[in-house]
Amino acid sequence: MASVIKRLSEVSAEQLTGMRRGIEKESLRAQFDGNLALTPHPSALGSALTHPRVTTDFSEAQLELVTGVHGDIDACLKELTEIHQFVYRAIGEEILWTGSMPCCLPTDETIPIGMYGSSNVGRAKSVYRMGLGHRYGRRMQMISGIHYNWSMPGLRTDDYFSLIRNFRRHSFLLLYLFGASPAVCSSFVEGRQHELRSLGGKSLYMPYGTSLRMGRLGYQSDAQSSIAVSYNSLEIYAASLQAAMTEPYAPYVAVGIRNPGGDYNQLATSLLQIENEFYGTIRPKRVIRPGERPLHALRERGVEYVEVRCMDLNPFLPVGIDGATMRFIDMLLLHCLLHESPPDTLEEIAALGRNQHHVASHGRDPGLKLERGGMEISVPNWGDAVLAEMEPIAQALDRTHGDGDYVRTLNMARATLHTPACAPSARVLDAMTESHESSHVRFIMAQSLAAKSSLLSRPLSSEQNTHFLAMTLQSIAEQKAIEAADQVPFETYRQNYLATRSLSV
């Protein structure tokens, strides 16, 4: 505690008010019967390749809504809400699925991957997604979540890596307090082994689960587990990722770059096709220049912000997240920055992976023990220690902002930590069993319809509507310009982009 308070005293009010955050929120487009929408990306939403606020993630049916960078939480939420309002007016009778675990899915090969036009960069995005499908199956890619991008002025690259190491140690709190995916439609695991229990009908669940999305059924990979990426420095982090992106990996060599008909199966035969394929609860990031590799940008100009990637969609909230959740993430990130951050080790990396799986699958089990420093500790006891150290941080933020929102948020988190029935994951299971015949699809469908009704009932100003329409038209024009500017065949582009020299400074 003393070290956190001392380091907090060295943080200026200007740095606290200078915190910046932005949100990337994924949502599936679904039909009213709970099945995945198989329609192309709506033309009214412009080009998924170039639109700054509305794009797609893995699938044509998986929208990704992106806010700008904001110094104010309410302003960030306001923009996210307005993007939703615009999207709902463009997708007609379809809905945005408010849960992280998918709606009813068709056969794996029927799930449409994202399409981005005929340019080399657009084709590369689609081929990359084709590769993800071959490697992990398309169903896994249909899980949706929220990415929280955060920065604070005055931080160096080493400061961000110190933060990241501590975040990996303490991110179990986010799964416990905000995980909201304890159940799933049985279509998601069809043909796969799993440890889920039947809840009736076509729903499966984990009784004490918090986030199936972050557990063994979610964004996990046995192949990637062999990487054991260390965050002790940018140099060590970059070297481990570069090896994973440049050394052939036998199972993916067997898949091949192209199939016998000449169509592309994947971008590369390495363990990772590109940087974004690496799964993690948090990433060091920097805005890249056109055609630049993310790893090159980090090596050349350092870390600019971090991307928190372990947040579920909250199905009880129309846009999946609220101000209290964002304030808690702010406080946790500041705690991770200010707390002593020893180097990670291979043993600790393995233990943190086990902790994540345990909390994702059994987090609300009162008997659950996590690993910390070679000893066992309960989630409430470890959580209490972290929240106690966050108290002066909450107070400092409230003094800076002139309100009591951060302390109130911290008190709510403390109450949830000791009353797991209040956690979103428990509330999801209660709501499913009480009003929706224990059906995951029916529950999320009801929440999705309520969210659509709520957002469509709010007026979207003519200025905002005009603003979004202008972005849509501009995105279409930009895609055409990119396609017209291509000078080399796609295979040449692919080889140049993936060349080892593109990763170095």
Query: Can you tell me the distance from the alpha carbon of 339 to that of 417, in angstroms, rounded to the nearest whole number?
Result: 21
- Token readout for 25 is 């929120």
pLDDT for the residue 345: 95
Residue 34 tokens, joined: 């709970």
Length of the chain: 505
C-alpha 375 chain-centroid distance: 30
In this structure, what are the phi and psi dihedrals at residue 172, rounded to the nearest 5 degrees?
-55, -30
Give residue-wise pLDDT tens across range 92-104.
999 999 999 999 9
118 alpha-carbon distance from chain centroid? 28
Residue type, 267: L
The predicted-structure confidence for 45-102, as pLDDT tens digits, reads as follows: 999 999 999 999 999 999 999 999 999 999 999 999 999 999 999 999 999 999 999 9
CA quadruple 296, 302, 304, 310: dihedral sign: positive
What are the tokens at 105?
């899915």
Indicate the helix (H) or strand (E) that contains 441.
helix 440-457
Under DSSP, the state recorded for 59 is: B
For residue 480, give the DSSP letter. H
Residues 215-234: tens digit of each pLDDT: 988 766 677 777 878 999 99
Closest CA to 139 of 106, 115, 184, 183: 106
Cβ neighbours of residue 139 closer than 8 Å, sequence gap 6 or more = 102, 105, 108, 111, 188
At 416 the pLDDT is 97
The 10s digit of each residue's pLDDT in 382-404 is 999 999 999 999 999 999 998 99
**Every domain of the chain and the residues it spans:** 2-498
Single-letter code of the amino acid located at 341: S
Interstrand relation of 369-372 and 375-378 (parallel, antiparallel or unpaired): antiparallel
Q: Could you count the other beta carbons within 10 Å of the beta carbon of residue 377? A: 15
Sites in the chain below the pLDDT cut of 70: 219-221
Instruction: Output the pLDDT for position 453.
Output: 97
8 A C-beta contact, residue 199 and residue 432: yes
From 471, 225, 494, 481, select the one nearest 346 (Cα to Cα): 225
For the whole model, what pTM was predicted?
0.97
Say what the pLDDT of residue 226 is: 76
SS3 assignment for 19-35: CEEEEEEEEEEECCCCE
- Parallel, antiparallel, or unpaired for β 20-30 and 146-151? antiparallel
Distances (CA, A) of 391 to 19, 21, 499: 18, 21, 48
**Structure token pair of residue 189:** 């695991």
Structure tokens at 444: 């999320």
In sequence order, the 6+-apart residues with CB closer than 8 A to the CB of 484 are none
Q: How far apart are CA 221 and CA 224, in angstroms?
A: 5
Nearest to 99 by CA among 467, 505, 440, 470: 440
Helix (H) or strand (E) holding 430: helix 424-435
135 close to 113: Cβ distance less than 8 angstroms: no
429 alpha carbon, distance to own chain's centre: 22
Q: What pLDDT score was predicted for residue 190?
A: 84
What number of H helices and E strands is found in the chain?
A: 18, 12
Rg (CA), the chain: 22
Could you please state the CATH topology (level 3) that the domain comprising 2-498 is classified under.
Answer: Creatine Kinase; Chain A, domain 2 (3.30.590)
> pLDDT value at position 199?
87
